[in-house]
Structure 1
Amino acid sequence: MIAPTIPELVARAALHPFLGEHLAMGTGPFEGQAVARRRDVELLSAYEPIYDITVHSGVQSLTADLASAARFGDELGFQAETLRAQDGRTVPCDPFQDSLDDPELVALDRMVRAMHAINFLGSQQHGLLFLRVHERLLKSVKYDHGRHFSNILVSFGLNPGRIVIELPSAAVAHRTFVSYLTKSYQRHGFKVAGNLPNAGQIISVSDMAVSDSARLDFVKMNASSALRDSMVKPLVTYAARLRIPLIFNRVVDAAQFEQLQQYDVRFVQGPLFAAHDKVE
């Protein structure tokens, strides 16, 4: 079955009572992609690659010629980022930085995630799409997390199994809450990743997997924090024991990348890699 294109998906979104008001095809320099409009601001999608660096042995060192390093391995998937249109170009944007009441935040979060999914899946990109969920949305929606978004994707002819819902560290810090969220999102067809608030939290992830039958599909850890606290090796060992893929994110430079490689890290993402490989 041929996946629907971006224009086809935007046309389907036009029939949705909420998304139809905010999603449209871009024009000018943003032609060909879906954009979201809120309060006279045009929001767009960008994607940061998540690499499996164990695949290609030819990327052992970046320090010699970082500028020529166009690829670092095979992509596991991509992390969606939100940009804002400004004078015909794009700049980073946090659409949630304004003070929003809960209903508006929930609506904005859903709108942005729908835009990212349309642009990614509608452009026939490979791999998984990681989508962050705002902490307040998780608290504002009282039950059945993931049902609304899953229903939209299925109605558009898209597969929720290509989406990884990424839980914030504040949610992962509460074992009962993250267990419930994981089971709820997975029940609606999504994969789930959890950001570790600290290295020690992986023990709670382990306990949850054993006692609650709720296993995260991925865990993420801030590379800078893990390196600073000398916790990369223990984390890699523990994650391997759990058989849960561990992604070190926010890798900012070649020095950090070289250090991570010393500990047989497999998955990485961050500004370093996004600067050299972009989804068009």
Structure 2
Amino acid sequence: MIPPTIPELVSRAAEHPFLGEHVEMGTGEQHDHAIARLDDLVIISRYEPIFDISVHALAQSLSTAPGSVDRFGDELGVQAVTQRIDSTPFDPFDEIDDAPELVAIDRMSRALHAINFFGAQRHGLLFLRVHERLLKSVKYDHGKHFSSVLISFGLNPARVVIELPSAAVAHRTFLGYLTKSYQRYGFKVAGNLQNAGQILAVSDTRLDFIKMDAGTALREATVKPLVGYAGRLKIPLIFDHVTDENQFDLLQQYDVRFVQGPLFETHDRAV
């Protein structure tokens, strides 16, 4: 089966009662990609790569190919980031208080990222963050609506990772419920740790991934125990917000496998 292109997915979105009003093909620099509009707001997709550095050639120095993404390893997938049309950051939770408008922007942006990801025939997984306020605004069946949208577009929810905030991870019962709900509707689930101790809260869950801030883990000297404990849990651990080559070199000393952050971004990550 031939995967749908971005224009084909935008056409399918046009038949959706909500997305049809907001998602369209871009123009100018965005002519090959979908954009989304809500009143005066126009948003686009950007993607941060997540690398599996276990396949990185250990004998190769980072300095040997400073402009090459291939020097880091293979991509596990990408993290979707919402930006304004002028490429400036956009976080609706910092700017909007109205709950229905937040829900609308969230649904619009998730669909936009999925269209640009799947329509471009990208490989790997699509990581999508979910804000704590939205988790609390939905009473039950988390993931049901988005899963139905993806399936109606002919897209596979199993290639989407719903990323839960650390506030949700801190509450073991809530975390367990959310994980089961999203997985029931076909998604994978990642949990963000605020600190190393939070990994104890995920020991009896079935998370597909754990994420931890690299700077915090290195500063608190918890990289090695985190890697070991995650290994015993058999849950892949991603260290994100890797900012420089020194952090990258230190992480490699502890057999870290998955990394993400500004160090690995290149100019062509925006769409």
Task: State TM-score, norm by structure 2.
Answer: 0.96
Segments of structure 1 that go 5 or more residues without pairing to the other structure are 210-214
Residue 245 of structure 2: aligned partner:
254
In angstroms, what is the RMSD of aligned CA positions?
Answer: 1.5
CA distance in 1, matches of 2:65, 2:32: 31
Shift of 1:101: 1.9
Residue 117 of structure 1: aligned partner:
114
Residue 160 of structure 2: aligned partner:
163
Q: Which aligned pairs between 1:1-280 and structure 2 lie closer than 5 A?
A: 1-58=1-58, 60-62=60-62, 64-65=63-64, 67-71=66-70, 72-86=72-86, 90-206=87-203, 208-209=204-205, 215-275=206-266, 278=269
Residue 212 of structure 1: aligned partner:
none
Q: Could you tell me whether the CA contact under 8 Å between 2:92 and 2:102 is conserved in 1? A: no
Task: Report the residue type matching 1:140 in the other structure.
Answer: S
Shift of 1:70: 2.6
Shift of 1:146: 0.3
Q: Could you tell me whether the CA contact under 8 Å between 1:109 and 1:134 is conserved in 2? A: no
The alignment-based identity, stated in percent, is: 68
Q: Could you tell me whether the CA contact under 8 Å between 2:142 and 2:181 is conserved in 1? A: yes
CA distance in 2, matches of 1:232, 1:124: 34
CA 1:142–1:6 in structure 2 vs 1: closer, same or farther (change >3 Å)? Answer: same
Task: Report the residue type matching 2:123 in the other structure.
Answer: H
Task: Report the residue type matching 1:200 in the other structure.
Answer: G
Segments of structure 2 that go 5 or more residues without pairing to the other structure are none
Q: Could you tell me whether the CA contact under 8 Å between 2:45 and 2:270 is conserved in 1? A: no
CA distance in 2, matches of 1:137, 1:56: 37
CA distance in 1, matches of 2:268, 2:57: 18
CA distance in 2, matches of 1:197, 1:256: 19
- CA deviations 1:63-102 (Å, max 9, x no partner) are x35633432100000000111122xxx2222233212222
CA distance in 1, matches of 2:192, 2:80: 15
Shift of 1:103: 1.6
Bigger Cα displacement from structure 2, 270-279 vs 33-42: 270-279
Task: State TM-score, norm by structure 1.
Answer: 0.93
